[in-house]
Amino acid sequence: MNFGATTHAVEVNVPTKEALFQSLRSRLAVRQGFALATLNLDHLTKLPTDSAFLAAYRAHDFVVADGRPVVWLSHLAGKPLELMPGSDLILPLCALCAELGVSIALVGSSDAALEGASDALKTRVPGLTVSYLRAPPYGFDPTGTLADEIFAELEASRAGLCFIALGAPKQEIFAAKARLKAPSVGFASIGAGLDFLSGDQQRAPLWMRKLALEWLWRALQQPRRMAPRYAKCFAILPGLALQAWKQRS
């Protein structure tokens, strides 16, 4: 299903978790790289005004629905998608890597968060190997020379899957370039997922997530940062709903 006006639309091309994991299993087993993005409403506010972000999104191999509004819009269009938040994909993907004997890499966030997330993942996923950690400095350019250095190190690390926690649009731009520079590595952009694992950020309680209130939890935790973001998200919903309705067949 396509989201956004024609000139800046992006396609969610994997409708279910089963389909996603079948595709990723095949790629990881033969060390064929990929880029995975998780589309949410915040991304849809940025894509129309950020050509580099849009180009990066369109270069991804797999795009899934992250956020209940995206899922609701898909149902309105008559093309239902399964909810797949990036944070919820980390442990199942690590379990798949452990099963296949594929090591993982963690890029982004902070050194402390990466160490904490690495320890948590190895504890929760027996047999998992973490072969590379890198927290780029503040102001990191995902298309600059340091990014090229990281791509080379990732390829040399023999990691099969790299989780990127740089925030949008940096992580998606990084992944789109990394997909070409480190062709044997898969890249998954997962936002705050590593900070949740390390305990640097506290995720919304399960009951709030089930009631689609995770956005409210995050707004209350970081009001100055998150409240304006969610205001922009709510503002574009009517237009997206109209576009979704027009896609009904």
The three-class DSSP label of residue 10 is: strand
pLDDT for residue 119 is more than 90: yes
Average pLDDT value for residue range 191-206: 89
Section 22-41 average pLDDT: 97
3-class DSSP string for 43-71: HHHHHHHCHHHHHHHHCCCEEEECCHHHH
Structural tokens at position 135: 């927290």
φ and ψ at 203, to 5 degrees? -80, 155
Task: Write down the domain spans for the chain.
Answer: 2-246
- State residue 249's pLDDT score: 66
d(CA 64, CA 20): 8
pLDDT above 80 for 73: yes
Structure tokens at 240: 């997206």
Nearest to 192 by CA among 110, 71, 104, 96: 110
Q: What rounded mean pLDDT belongs to the chain?
A: 95
pLDDT for 204 equals 86
Tokens in use for 215?
Answer: 């956005």
